[in-house]
Amino acid sequence: MYFCPVPITEAFRQAAIRSRTNGSRIPRAVPLLRRRPDPLHVHELTPARSARIIVTAFLLALLLGTGLLMLPVSTVDPGNAEAITAAFTATSALCVTGLVTVDTATYWTPFGQVVIICLIQVGGLGVMTFTTMLGILLARKFGLSTRLLANAETKSRGGARQVVARIVLTTAVIETAAAGILFLRFWGHYHYSPGAALAHGAFHAVSAFNNAGFALYSLNVMDFSGDPWILLTLAACVILGGLGFPVLYELRRHLRTPRRWSMNTRLVLLATPVLLLGGTVFLAVLEWNNSQTLGQDSPAVRVLNAFFQSTISRTAGFNSIDISHMHPVSWLGMDILMFIGGGPAGTAGGLKVTTFGVLFFIALTEIRGGAAVPVLGKQLSRSVQREAMTVVVLATGAVIGGTMLIMLADESLGLDRVLFECVSAFATVGLSTGITPTLPVFAQCVLIVLMFTGRLGPVTVAAAIAFGRRPPAYELPKERPLIG
């Protein structure tokens, strides 16, 4: 039974009548019977159910996009696209990856390109929206203190409608600003017609902010390798989308008060410049004298392209240099950058910088012999430690398994190239060494599964970890095996 202060209601009036007849005091509260459950709310929307709804929605969107790309109006050549080609392109666009098996600029008609950019927008915006909404649903299942901590950390103030409205507004503002800059550059410098400049500017702005990497050029953006207006605009969109909306909102509110930043924001803002600068130096050193990548450009252009590829390796599939002719060690370094990815609750892929930041501080604490794990002035929850390690183990298994399957399908391919494609697919990056279009159908299906799993897997795994636990009926004896 619920007890609550009662206004002038029928129950209060009856209690007042009884008090006048027996001389008792008017009660401050009266019991109210539980209302019968609403039939519409019998099946509660649990996090596991939410995850299944998200996966189902993406599958339906994938089928719709595949069907649209298979229409004769979507392809330049007579007839329609093959099912595997349409499915691969739709998956790559919906999962904001950027891997392609055909030339986007010449294979698809303007209608097909519109379908692709719509899938990119739905994939980026939809995942962000549902991730935030799922976070709100998760917070409502905890106690009051946990809900307050979750709201403070994710900055999810207000209802789901307000959160979604903020995401849509932020996306529209950034994409519009980037499209405007690209439009002016295409129109004023490259002398595109106003319509073509607007179309190209809008397409690449959406593709960049959603970390997709699709381009309307056969060589991607290699023709603009010396143009800072194009490359830096695309890089800025990738970085902003990769920071994540919780970080963007927190910076807007507490830009001048870093002491109020959450652990999530501190980890993202610490790791992002380190990875950008480290990747730039790494690629510049290895490719500086490579005549097929950076070697033929001026020093300023070399640094520009090294920075651009370092940024893009964090989950967007643009390339301003020929990836297929890079040094194998460069591929391995980019594998690491792609696997780490960007910030959570944004458009970036990968395992997220926060996951690896957590693992770094766990290792550092273990080396120092500490018990609790301090992270930038705060203490890390033990449940987060288990989640981070579980996600890394599952992701590593998926990449290794995919690499093995593709190498079994085509034994002529080298390990370095296949590993690069699998990491790129799982981390939803989209960079390629050039072997994706030549892969057999089975291998392309493996990449499709990796792209889909990499985009939606972390959300599903997080929901399963948070709500898949059941209190054990007994506790087993503890024992410490030898580690290392």
Nearest to 357 by CA among 285, 422, 258, 265: 265
**What's the Cα-to-Cα distance from 330 to each of 136, 250, 327, 351, 403, rounded to whole Å?**
40, 35, 5, 20, 19
DSSP-derived secondary structure letter, 75:
B
Type of residue at 370: G
Average pLDDT over residues 226-251: 92
Spatial CB neighbours of 202, under 8 Å, sequence gap ≥ 6: 117, 175, 179, 183
- Over residues 126-181, the pLDDT tens digits come to 654 655 544 545 544 434 333 333 333 334 445 556 777 778 888 899 999 999 99
- Over residues 44-78, the pLDDT tens digits come to 555 566 667 777 778 888 999 999 999 999 999 99
Please state, rounded to an integer, the average pLDDT across all residues of the chain.
Answer: 82
User: What is the model's pLDDT at position 180?
Assistant: 97
Rg, the chain, Cα only: 26
- For the chain, the straight-line distance linking the first and the last C-alpha, in angstroms and rounded, comes to 56
Going by pLDDT thresholds of 50, 70 and 90, the confidence category of residue 372 is: confident
* Conformational region of residue 85, where left means phi above 0, alpha means psi within -120 to 50, and beta covers everything else: alpha
This prediction's pTM: 0.82
What is the rounded distance in angstroms from the CA atom of residue 90 to the CA atom of residue 119? 7
Q: What residue segments make up the domains of the chain, in order of their start?
A: 4-35, 43-467
- Over residues 10-24, the pLDDT tens digits come to 444 554 455 444 544
- H or E, element range at 309: helix 299-312
Q: Are 80 and 74 in contact (CB under 8 A)?
A: yes
Q: What is the DSSP string of 342-404?
A: --SSSS--SS-HHHHHHHHHHHHHHHHT-SS-EETTEEPPHHHHHHHHHHHHHHHHHHHHHHH
Token pair for 7:
């206004």
What is the rounded distance in angstroms from the CA atom of residue 9 to the CA atom of residue 29? 12
What is the rounded distance in angstroms from the CA atom of residue 61 to the CA atom of residue 84? 16
Going by pLDDT thresholds of 50, 70 and 90, the confidence category of residue 253 is: confident
